[in-house]
Each structure stands twice: as C-alpha cells, then as structure tokens.
Amino acid sequence: MTQAIVQIDGNNFYASCEQMIDPSIRGKGVVVLSNNDGCIIARSSEARKMGIPMGQPYFKLKEKLKKLNINIRSSNYELYGDISNRLMQILIENCEELEIYSIDEAFARIDRPKDQELYRWGKELRETIFQKIGIPISIGIGKTKVQAKIANYLAKKVEKNSGIFDIANIENKDDLLNQIKVDKIWGVGPMMTKWFKEKGITNARELRDMSSDEIKRKFGVIGQRLQYELKGTSCIPLKSKPSDRKEICVSRSFAHPIDRSEELLQAIGKYILIGTAKLRKSHQLASAITVFTNTNKYSNNFYKSHASKILDIPSNDSILMLRISLELGKKIFKPYNKLTKAGIILHKLQSDQYQQKILFNNQDIKEDLKKENLNKIIDIINRKYGRNTLSWAPSIIDNNWSQRSNNLYNIKTTDIATIPTVIAG
C-alpha cells in the first residue's frame, strides 16, 4: 500500500472565522489585524481581490480600506483557537495519523486506496468541514511535506482544482514545478531566495535539479533536506505527538511609547505572571529568565537591551520569578528612550515531575509547598474569572500603555453570554 502525505489548512483562516461568526460580512472584504492593531495578518478572498496586501501596517492602508468599504477586525484568538480545535478534531477522525502544525494547518498520513485516488476522500472531507464548522479548507497531497505544501498552493491558486490537488499522482512534474517561484517553497525565506536568484535559480523545478553539492555547501543539512523533499524523498517526518515546549515567550508592543521605568516594570511584571501561569499549566519549570525591551526598530536611533538570569533551581513560582524579572527589568531600563515593546522569555523548560528539592531542609520544603498551593489557587481563580482577577501588586496597573484592540467583534464561541439570540419571525 502506498502512503501519501497530505497538508490541510483553513483558507484565510482568521478572516474566515470572522465571516463564519458574523453573517453580515460574508462575501465581503474583511481584514484581520495583528495584536495592537498593528499589521494586516489575514484577508478574505474578497479583500485580496481588491488588492489589499498581506503583512502591511494598518495605518498605511487605513484610508484605502475605508474607501473600499472593507470590514476591519482586531484579532480574536479565543475564537480562532476554538474553531481550530473543532477543525483538528474532524481531521483526527479522518486521517491515519495527524500532526497539528499550527492553529490553521495540519499534516496527515493517508493510505492510498486500491485505485490510488484520494480525490473523493478529499472532497468529502472538505464538505464535512464546511458543513460542520463553516470554514473552507484546501488539501494538498504529495509524497513529502514539501510536495504536499506545493500541492496545497496549487489547490488554492488554480481555480479548476477547487481546493484539492494531488501532485504525487502526476508522472512528470516539470511543468507544475516551473510555475512555483522559489520564494513560495516552504522553507525558503528571504536569505535563501536572494542566493538562489544570484545563482539563476528562480523556480521549484530549477531548485530540484540544481547541484546538490552546491546547495549543501551553502545551506548545510537544511538545504539538502529541502531538495530531497522536493524530489520526493521524505526526510522531514510527521510529528503526531507534540513535543514539550522548550521555551515560553510573552511579549507585546505598547499602545504608546513609554519612557518611565515604572511602566516598563509593570509590563514585565504582567508578562512574567502570564508566563509562569503557562508554565504551571503545562507542568513545567524554567531554568532561566530573559527580559528584553526595545524602541521603534524603524527609527534611526534604535535601542534594544536584554538581561538574563539562570535560576539556582528550576522553578515556576510566580513570586520568585516576579522578583527576579523586576531586578532584570531595572538593568535594561535607560532613561530618555521611547520604548515600544517589552517581553520575557522562560528558557530550558523541563517537566515538574523531577523537580529538584533542596536536601535536608524541612523549612524550605514547607515554604515551597505553601507557595505551590498559593500559585495553584491563583491559577484556578484566574481561569474561572479571567486572567487578571487575582494578581501581584507590581503588575496591577493603570493600563495606559497596554494594547490597542479597537475593532474587536466581541462574540466568542467559548462564551455563551456573547452569542446573539436570533428570534424567528
């Protein structure tokens, strides 16, 4: 039996979620903005057709969007996360093995039926998902992940493919690969693109056929793997069991630039408490903390700074981490800078099952237990009543600097109270 690698993703996922939850914007131009209403991170197909580019700062396109009557939405990750869970559940039921790759994307292993045809399977899956959760998906089929990604690209791009494409079933792929520009290949970023262009490699077919020695010399195993995958030899395995997270990063841009150390410390305090709560949720401990901040990276006198500390004993205790991160925060603050962003990183995470206790010291163990219980209670209350219900003094704040989110359509599929009631007439 031959096997296929399949890549499945939601089309314009965030925009589709917004259209699903709000019928009044279906069939219309919609864009979704990143945190802080910074950039455009998703566009409905209608907005794309009107020429709205991806990844551009909102302020630059505000007027154009208004003129074109395009609907604006601040991002609503609670909604997207909930829709994602439903989507992945259906995929798990319909695939032999599934790797959840991101909020809107998965790789799967599928055994090919006797007639080798996966088209019917794909068509039924698409219909089921649209019927159950109202999100259109695309399906790309290949022998490897890189091939499946390319197939998915063709599934979307070529109208007559109507959302499903199987590249593995095509004997001579030259014409298809000639259509794929090198920078559209999964794993090729700006640096690689530049080098390929200099070498005269412009599309996937040329990349597949170039000297493998040359690509290996320049990009090491990463380049080598990419070429193998393109040729149809799988070397990026499917990962159905998610590996434990290795680090946690919590960072945000400020609504307005700040220049007071208290504000920076408030932000850092807030982020470390989010980070340590995440740690406890995943039953992990961190071995080191970094805090960082920077000014506007597009300005001439760009300033950035970071400071780190390795912990004596790995921990997930809010109080301890708060104290340390505030000390680090004081180190990175410099007056007269207009800071636009700050964040914390928790490094070298490990399971809390093997927590190292201080030997021969009953007093410390008692203290540890007390702290553990306190943290647990705070987590439970915050889960139930919202993230900031209970917190520690240094992070209770005037929210002057915190984030913009001016275009939120505040309906959540996870909160019945926000779902509108429809009265049949």
Partner DNA sequence: TCTGGGGTCCTAGGACCC
Q: List interacting residues with DNA (CB under 7 A).
A: 34-36, 38-39, 41, 55, 57, 59, 101-105, 149, 185-193, 220-222, 243, 245-253, 256-257, 278, 296, 298, 308, 310, 340-341, 343, 403
Q: Phi and psi at residue 160, in whole multiples of 5°?
A: -70, -15
Query: Nearest distance from residue 271's CB to DNA, in Å?
Result: 8
Query: Nearest distance from residue 117's CB to DNA, in Å?
Result: 26
Measured from the CB atom, is 55 or 420 closer to DNA?
55
Measured from the CB atom, is 66 or 370 closer to DNA?
66
Query: Nearest distance from residue 255's CB to DNA, in Å?
Result: 8
Report whether 342 contacts 251 (CB < 8 A): yes
Measured from the CB atom, is 25 or 250 closer to DNA?
250
Report whether 176 contacts 155 (CB < 8 A): no
Measured from the CB atom, is 222 or 358 closer to DNA?
222
The H-assigned helical ranges of 3-57 are: 13-21, 45-49
Report the distance separating Cα 281 and Cα 274, nearest Å. 11
Query: Nearest distance from residue 36's CB to DNA, in Å?
Result: 5
Is residue 97 within a helix (H) or strand (E), and if so which, with residue range? strand 97-102
Residue 135 is given by DSSP the state -
Of the candidates 63, 104, 110, which has an alpha carbon nearest to the alpha carbon of residue 87?
A: 104
Measured from the CB atom, is 190 or 386 closer to DNA?
190
Residue 347 is given by DSSP the state E
Measured from the CB atom, is 346 or 378 closer to DNA?
346
Query: Who's near 122: CB < 8 A, 6+ residues apart?
Result: 6, 139, 141, 164
Query: Who's near 141: CB < 8 A, 6+ residues apart?
Result: 4, 5, 6, 7, 110, 118, 122, 148, 151, 164, 165, 166, 167, 168, 169
Query: Nearest distance from residue 184's CB to DNA, in Å?
Result: 9
Query: Nearest distance from residue 303's CB to DNA, in Å?
Result: 14
- CA 84: distance to chain centroid? 12
Measured from the CB atom, is 156 or 341 closer to DNA?
341
Report the distance separating Cα 44 and Cα 27, nearest Å. 8
DSSP notation for 225-261: HHHHHHHT---S----SPPPPS-EEEEEEEEEEE--H
Q: Which amino acid is at 414?
A: T
Residue 196: count of CB within 10 angstroms of its CB: 23
Report the distance separating Cα 343 and Cα 35, nearest Å. 14
Measured from the CB atom, is 10 or 111 closer to DNA?
10
Measured from the CB atom, is 107 or 121 closer to DNA?
107
